[in-house]
């Protein structure tokens, strides 16, 4: 091969980054959001949030810091239509009467810093993004109030207003992010033939159950796995949770899988059931995310013995930012009852197809599926690949860096700054 031909090939590889730009057009760049939500059994004192793109030599390039190391990331929400919402509080506060900040990441203008200060914030008992044709916002509850923070305001519009509980009819939730640190999962209840969010009054209906399931599920807690424009997916609290009052641990391994879920196709108004190849415990929620129409499950099994999950001993590393938490510590604390073989199952809810992606590493997750392409993380590296028929093919390295294990969300956006960006 001539030197000129080799040079042309090298230049083409750079211009086509990431490789063939699967999932995006040629004018877009890939953005990666890194942060750990301080929730669940493993609570961190402070944790930053950084937005990255991919720089030279397949390394991360910082776009901007969304939260600094003295802030505490409390919640994440995505309206699935271009706005991402992050809620934080100063890290030195207690757990009550929190002041806070909601930062909005605009996927069409990622460099734009957009933060809304709050006089108070509480992520319980309700928090989430809502979206319809006229509204993009995030709502949360504080005491007996529902509060709304608009995502795309007019210049003279007040950002923080009284919310509307009924707007949770348009609740958008893509599921549980990967990695060892989990968020609070939305919990509803099956009652009177409906799945409702029961955390406040008046209650709001998320879906109407099929007549064949309504009586059997009546009174059961409903864990929302995904809620999008097209699909609503939930599971009921396992009977073993009820019997043991939430105590599924190594002493009571009562729900070893598969995990049965209920799926509503909102377009056809038809329900179906599906068994997911995963187990849960009293510490771990279902590790399932929706990238429409793909439902993505991280396989977890009851730990058969003292052996560590593959790749567990490789998590210890020197972090480029010491404020990011130790991945190994999270897996050791929360996943001690589960064995993660490094398998990810993709279910196509439109055609019933199922694909298994075998990474062989416990710290693996899918970050994005778009236009027949998949982006997934394995430890400190992110790969792009194509979904063709029943296979994931042609994996190619996108980025590898020390802060990659904290990346749990990705999106495509413009590669240049807008007039609104600083």
Burial 345-358 (b: 16+ CB within 10 A, else e): bbbebeeeeebebe
* Lowest-confidence region among 133-137, 281-285, 318-322, 347-351: 318-322
Distance CA 305, CA 307 (A): 6
Q: Which of 378, 374, 370 is nearest to 407 (CA)?
A: 378
Residues 204-217: pLDDT tens digits? Answer: 999 999 999 998 99
Is residue 263 classed as helix, strand or coil in its secondary structure? strand
- 300 and 284 Cβ atoms separated by less than 8 Å: yes
Q: Determine phi and psi for 181, rounding to 5 degrees.
A: -115, 120
Whole-structure pTM value? 0.88
**DSSP single-letter state for residue 110:** T
* pLDDT value, residue 138: 95
pLDDT number for residue 20: 47
- Predicted local confidence at residue 144, as pLDDT: 79
Question: How many H helices and E strands in the chain?
Answer: 4, 30
Nearest one of 116, 153, 151 to 136, comparing CA atoms: 151
- Residue 415 is predicted with a pLDDT of 85
Digit-coded pLDDT (tens) for 264-289: 999 999 999 999 999 888 778 889 99
Question: Phi and psi of 244, rounded to 5°?
Answer: -100, 10
- pLDDT for 359: 96
Residue count (the chain): 422
pLDDT per residue as tens digits for the range 387-420: 999 999 999 999 999 889 889 999 999 987 776 7
Order of strands, sheet of 83-90, starting from the edge strand that comes earlier in the sequence: 71-78, 83-90, 98-106, 115-121
Place 110 in a pLDDT band, splitting at 50, 70 and 90.
very high
Report which of 118, 158, 157 is spatially closest to residue 141, judged by C-alpha positions. Answer: 118
């Amino acid at each position: 091969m001539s030197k000129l031909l080799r040079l042309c090939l090298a230049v083409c590889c750079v211009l086509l980054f990431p490789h063939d730009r699967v999932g995006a057009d040629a004018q877009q760049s890939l953005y990666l959001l890194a942060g750990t939500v301080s929730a669940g059994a493993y609570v961190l004192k402070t944790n930053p949030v950084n937005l990255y793109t991919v720089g030279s030599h397949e390394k991360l390039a910082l776009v901007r810091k969304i939260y600094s190391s003295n802030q505490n990331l409390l919640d994440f929400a995505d309206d699935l239509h271009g706005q991402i919402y992050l809620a934080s509080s100063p890290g030195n506060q207690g757990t009550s009467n929190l002041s806070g900040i909601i930062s909005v990441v605009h996927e069409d203008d990622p460099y734009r810093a957009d933060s809304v200060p709050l006089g108070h914030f509480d992520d319980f008992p309700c928090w989430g993004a809502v979206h319809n044709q006229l509204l993009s916002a995030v709502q949360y509850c504080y005491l007996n109030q529902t509060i709304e923070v608009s995502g795309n305001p007019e210049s003279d519009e007040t950002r923080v207003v009284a919310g509307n509980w009924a707007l949770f009819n348009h609740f958008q939730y893509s599921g549980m992010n990967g990695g060892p640190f989990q968020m609070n999962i939305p919990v509803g209840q099956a009652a009177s033939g409906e799945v409702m969010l029961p955390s406040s009054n008046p209650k709001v209906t998320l879906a109407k159950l099929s007549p064949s399931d309504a009586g059997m599920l009546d009174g059961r807690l409903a864990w929302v796995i995904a809620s999008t424009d097209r699909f609503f997916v939930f599971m009921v609290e396992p009977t073993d949770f009820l019997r043991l009052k939430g105590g599924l641990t190594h002493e009571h391994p009562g729900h070893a899988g598969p995990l049965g879920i209920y799926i509503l196709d909102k377009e056809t108004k038809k329900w179906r059931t599906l068994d997911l190849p995963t187990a849960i415990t009293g510490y771990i929620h279902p590790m399932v995310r929706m990238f429409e129409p793909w439902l993505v499950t991280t396989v977890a099994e009851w730990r058969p013995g003292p052996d560590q999950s593959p790749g567990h001993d490789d998590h210890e590393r020197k972090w480029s930012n010491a404020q990011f938490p130790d991945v190994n510590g999270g897996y050791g604390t929360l996943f001690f009852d589960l064995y993660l073989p490094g398998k990810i199952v993709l279910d196509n809810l439109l055609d019933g197809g199922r694909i298994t992606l075998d990474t062989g590493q416990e710290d693996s997750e899918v970050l994005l599926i778009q236009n027949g392409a998949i982006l997934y993380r394995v430890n400190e590296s992110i790969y792009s690949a194509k979904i063709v028929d029943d296979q994931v093919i042609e994996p190619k390295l996108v980025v590898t860096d020390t802060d990659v294990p904290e990346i749990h969300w990705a999106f495509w956006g413009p590669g240049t700054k807008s007039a609104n960006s600083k």
